[in-house]
Structure 1
């Protein structure tokens, strides 16, 4: 499969909540969760090297439609609902169109 849609997100947790945010985002890889979908080809959670409360997520999907459909599901919405209270500010998103690369 080829990723034709993706985005990066930068999420800033409330002070000291970075670990909980990372743990919650990583549940997105559990069976039945969005990152475990066959349509999610890249799901990478990273932390800022200078601020442990800043978390970056990179996702690559087979299509924008697949992403929206999967994220409309109950599992994804449950994760999204739990993220909000951990955030110190509005998340920043940048959409992109993958060209070529490597995913694991």
Structure 2
């Protein structure tokens, strides 16, 4: 499967909450959550090397429509609601259209 839609998100946690934010984001890979969907072909959570409260998420989806449909679901909305309480400021998003890449899953 190929990613035809994707985005990067930069999330800044409240001071000292970066670890909790990472843990919460990683639940997105659990069965029934968005990252476990067959339509999510890339779900990468990373921490900034210089600030452990800055978290980067890279996602690749089979289509923008599939991403929006799955994120409108109950499981995704529950995670989003919890994320909001951990953030120091609004997330920053950059949408993109993947050209070519590789995953080694």
What is the number of equivalent residue pairs in this alignment? 104
**2:36 aligned residue:** 36
**1:56 aligned residue:** 56
2:78 is the alignment partner of 1:78: yes
Inter-partner Cα distance in structure 1 for 2:102 and 2:47: 20
Inter-partner Cα distance in structure 2 for 1:35 and 1:91: 18
**2:66 aligned residue:** 66
Contiguous gaps of at least 5 residues in structure 1: none
2:93 is the alignment partner of 1:89: no
**1:17 aligned residue:** 17
Inter-partner Cα distance in structure 1 for 2:85 and 2:32: 23
Inter-partner Cα distance in structure 2 for 1:71 and 1:90: 18
Q: Aligned-pair RMSD on alpha carbons?
A: 0.4
SS at match of 2:85: helix
Q: Which runs of 4+ in 1 moved over 2 A?
A: none
Shift of 1:2: 1.0
Report the TM-score, using the length of structure 1 for normalisation: 0.99
Inter-partner Cα distance in structure 1 for 2:95 and 2:22: 21
TM-superposition CA deviations, 1:2-60 (whole Å, max 9, x none): 11000000000000000000000000000000000000000000000000000000000
2:3 is the alignment partner of 1:3: yes
